[in-house]
Amino acid sequence: MISISNISKTFGQIAALSNITLEIPAKQIFGFIGPDGAGKTTLFRLITTLMVPDSGAILVNGFDTVKEYRRIRMFTGYMPGRFSLYMDLTVEENLNFYATIFGTTLEKNYHLIKSVYSHIEPFRKRLAGKLSGGMKQKLALSCALIHNPEILVLDEPTTGVDAVSRKEFWELLHELKQKGMTIVVSTPYMDEAAKCDTIALVHKGRLLETDKPGKITGSFKEHLFAVSGENQFRLINDLRNYQPGVSAYLFGQAIHLSFNTKPDINHLKMHLAKSGHGDVKVEPIMPSVEDCFISSMTSSGNH
Amino acid sequence: MNNLAGFIKKEFIHILRDPRTLIILFGLPVVQILIFGFVIRNEIQDVKIAILDYSKDDVTREITNKILSSGFFVLSENLTENNDIEEIFREGKIREVVIFESQFARKLEREGKASVQVLADASDPNSASLVVNYTRGIIFDYLKKASKEAAQPLKINAEVRMMYNPGLKSAFMFVPGTMALILMLVSAMMTSISIAREKETGTMEVLLVSPLRPIHIIVGKVTPYILLSCINAVVIIALGYFVFGLPVKGSLVLLLAETVLFISLALSLGILISTMASNQQVAMFLSVFVLMLPTILLSGFIFPIENMPKILQWVTFIVPPRYFIEILRSIMLKGTGFFNIWQQTTVLIGMTLFFIILSAVKFKTRLE
């Protein structure tokens, strides 16, 4: 369990984190969701004792990250944003090295990483620098797991990794959770949020919301529609000017349109037809985490 | 200790798999020693000299011919009076003047003793000393042969005067200097770069999060370079001895002990630099400007400290290689024992302790 209370951290003039209070329960996958620059990496560095907060305190399994950092370092596994592998060492040498600095051996803890390592074991004589992104990621995870940590901190582990590897990776994380590991993960991909037990939405160093992914989408109070038609650029502008209390943003192939009061869809369609938009489809949809993120980002006033 | 062994093994793999590191470690010392060696060798070819012969007899002519036919010297001018010497040196046309006293042959024959004066332009001290030594060698060679035929032992009093730099030091400065330079380069620059590389690639983050203590990281980084630097030192001494005939007159054990001391100093400097540099480029720049340039310019390696302006002479007191080069020259060339170099040794020990403590204090257990 990690309890974060009133954490603030600034770099020069920039506030990387402002007044974060949060509880990360044990034996869960806890996801931090937010765009680049939200402060996720800084928060992870504070949790892993790599940095000291300006104010506030973090307790990891009851140990303070400033005073008792040596204890925390014994049972924490950390995978930084960039795969921290030695590119001139082979897969096996990387693993052996990380095993020895944690006072163990690959043979002794092979069973702990087997599920991850088995994917890359055929390439164990290959230099880490010559692996694909997905394989590097699995090797970095194996290295972080080699000492059987109680808490695993993964900073954007799926960034720059192909879709298949990403899916496999999340399956691996769920296996680890089954074994009783506490996993803290960050991602800029909103679609990965649903795979976490609890998520925290962060933006510009602030915590927007913390809850189960289902609850966050369930508490979405606005009325959401997917609008698709020709000339998206003009369409999105016309939708934004339709009436107050409307927000419209591009979401993949469609435009997501949300109203804070129940709208008259027929009126909207007529309005659009008058503005010269021919074949426009408007359908009600269920909100995703990203819709919730954008909604709470705009309502908290720091868009 | 097991984790330390793993760390050292990893460092060796880094070094042995990187061709550039290997070239710097093992190619550079050999190339530098050979380059410095041959630069000095080549300088003593076709050196322009002037002769001022007050005697103009058979003996002086024979010696002059011997000097000029040796291949080392070329006659630039025959002078007629003393007053010309200053001017011809000033013009920079010649590097040496050989002056035979009047009635040279007669004195040699009757008294068994004659004087020749050798003046050298010592504004370039290394070559001046070589030029003079070659000239003397040729004169004494003549003397040896002549002595065999003569009834009594002959003696030529070769009076040497170094112009513009009377306090000239020994000629073989380049081996001790190169040794200091290479050990500085290998030890300090390579360690600081290798630590900075871990910061740059992000692996330092994981090392810090691990239970490894800073002392493990430092010792792990430094150990391979201590071994490799020792190998380098031996290679340099061997090259100096076998290729250039540079003797080790003093104790080899003392020499190696002092070398290990200097390597430790350089390594602690390297760690200190790495605590200040966030990436490899900064580490490189700091190493070059803080370590390499003073080693080349302010240690007495190339430019004699005595010739420097007073203020720079003061600066040299904080340049560690200065002491090491003095120690090396004393042991290798003069054959002195520890008794004569204890002061320099003490300074080096003091500096080493200072830098080790400073870098241990500055080495961070966190990212900031």
Q: How confident is the model at residue B128 (pLDDT cuts 50, 70, 90)?
A: confident
- Say which residue, B305 or A74, is predicted with more confidence: A74
Give the list of residues 6+ apart from residue B187 with CB closer than 8 angstroms, or none: B225, B226, B229, B263, B266, B267, B269, B270
Backbone angles phi, psi at A107, to 5 degrees: -65, -45
Q: Which of A140, A57, A132 lies closest to A94, judged by CA? A: A140
Please answer yes or no on whether B202 and A93 come within 8 Å at the CB atom.
no
Residues 6+ apart with CB under 8 A from B137: none
For B306-346, write each residue's pLDDT tens digit: 778 888 889 889 999 999 988 988 888 777 888 888 999 99
pLDDT value at residue B123: 67
Does A78 contact B at CB distance below 8 Å?
yes
Distance from CA of B279 to the nearest CA of A (A): 15
Quick check: A42 contacting B, CB < 8 Å?
Answer: no
Give the list of residues 6+ apart from residue B110 with CB closer than 8 angstroms, or none: none
Average pLDDT of the residues in A89-96: 94
Residue B207 and residue A45: Cβ atoms within 8 Å?
no
Q: Coil, helix or strand for B148?
A: helix
Q: What number is the average pLDDT over the span A267-284?
A: 83
Least confident of A270-274, A293-297, B162-166, B286-290: B162-166
Positions of E strands within chain A: 2-11, 14-24, 29-33, 55-60, 63-64, 76-79, 151-154, 182-187, 198-203, 206-211, 223-228, 246-251, 254-259, 281-284
> Which chain B residues touch A98 with a CB distance below 8 Å?
206, 210
- Ranges A69-83, A156-170, B26-40: which has the least confidence: B26-40
Copy the structure tokens of residue B32.
Answer: 């530098």
Contact A7, A21 (CB under 8 A): yes
The domain ranges of chain A are 2-210, 221-286
A contact residues 53-72, partner B, Cβ 8 Å cutoff: 69-70
Q: Summarize the confidence of residues B23-37 as an average pLDDT.
A: 81
Average pLDDT over residues B221-240: 89
Whether pLDDT at B165 is above 80: no
pLDDT value, residue A186: 93
Tell me whether A76 touches chain B (CB under 8 Å). yes
The CA–CA distances, whole Å, from B105 to A184, B70, B100, B101, B285 equal 98, 22, 10, 9, 62
User: Which CATH homologous superfamily contains domain A2-210?
Assistant: P-loop containing nucleotide triphosphate hydrolases (3.40.50.300)
Percent of chain A with pLDDT over 90: 40
Non-local (6+) Cβ contacts of B56 within 8 A are none
Helix, strand, coil content of chain A in percent (nearest 5): 35, 30, 35
Residue B171's pLDDT is 41
Q: What is the mean pLDDT of residues A50-67?
A: 93
- A2-210 matches A221-286 in fold: no
- The confidence score (pLDDT) of residue B169 equals 37
> Is the per-residue pLDDT at B166 higher than 50?
no
**A residues 136-175 lying closer than 8 A (beta carbon) to B:** 143-144
Q: Is pLDDT at B53 greater than 80 in this prediction?
A: yes
pLDDT band at B261 (very low <50, low <70, confident <90, very high): very high
List the 89-118 stretch of A: residues with Cβ below 8 A of B.
Answer: 89, 93, 96-103
pLDDT in tens, A129-166: 999 888 998 899 999 999 889 999 999 998 878 888 88
For position B224, what pLDDT does the model report? 92
pLDDT at B153: 65
ipTM above 0.85, yes or no: no
Measure the CA–CA gap between A6 and A9, rounded to whole angstroms.
10
Q: pLDDT tier at A245 (50, 70, 90 boundaries)? A: confident
Domains along chain B with CATH numbers? 47-163 (3.40.1710.10), 171-367 (no CATH)
Output the average pLDDT for chain A.
88
Of A204, A80, A92, the closest CA to residue A153 belongs to A80
User: Measured between CB atoms, which of B9, B205, B366 is closest to A84?
Assistant: B205
Among the partner-chain residues A80, A81, A101, the one whose CB lies closest to the CB of B210 is: A101
pLDDT reading at A182 higher than 90: yes
Judged against a pLDDT cut of 80, whether residue B93 lies above it is answered with: no
- Selected from 3.30.70.2070, 3.40.50.261, 3.40.50.1370, 3.40.440.10, the CATH number assigned to the domain covering A221-286 reads 3.30.70.2070
Q: pLDDT per residue over A104-133, tens digit each?
A: 888 998 988 888 898 899 999 999 999 988
Interface of B with A (CB under 8 A): 2-3, 5-7, 9-10, 13-14, 17-18, 201-203, 205-212, 216, 365-368
Secondary structure class of B117 (helix, strand, coil): strand
The first and second tokens of residue A224, run together, are 């959401």
